[in-house]
Amino acid sequence: MEVTQMINTHGMLVYSFLGFLVVGMFVPLLTANNPAGFKKASFIYTMIFQAIATMVAFSGIVALFTGDLGWPLTTIIMLVVWAVLMMTEIKKYKLIKLSKLDNADTFKVLRSAFLKISLVQILLVVVTIVIMMLKTQGAISL
């Protein structure tokens, strides 16, 4: 497999991940009146999130080492963004898992937090994609 093909696969996984994040914003909306369903859906969402994020990281690392691409600033940025995404997702799920969702106010706050965290995660991925596109087009040199 060629390095270009590996990078293209990595890119497709990143876009799939972004699509998953956007679709995932509907979890709190679809479970608006069901705290137990929200907790279960959040668990499933987190497991899929981690699986796709791990595939993205693995494909990127394979391309990095196979292509002997070195460690430019953009690669370090991608690694940091991946770590932040994983950390926030784990903390978000842990908070939902340990909370008493029977309390309507708590449930409302957690649903809101889920949406806000999802928006931040989407923003991080989009900014990283834009940086990589600009680097690929030669508009920036990081």
Q: List, for residues 89-111, the tens digit of each pLDDT value.
A: 999 999 999 998 889 999 999 99
Q: Are 57 and 82 in contact (CB under 8 A)?
A: yes
Q: Is residue 141 part of a domain?
A: no
User: What residues make up the domain containing 44?
Assistant: 3-136
**First CA to last CA distance, the chain:** 26
Q: Based on the structure, what is the number of domains in the chain?
A: 1
Of 19, 17, 41, the C-alpha closest to 107 is: 41
Q: Is residue 142 part of a domain?
A: no
Would you say residue 52 lies in a domain?
yes
Is the overall model pTM greater than 0.75, yes or no? yes
Digit-coded pLDDT (tens) for 31-80: 888 999 999 999 999 999 999 999 999 999 998 888 877 888 888 999 99
Residue 57 within a domain? yes
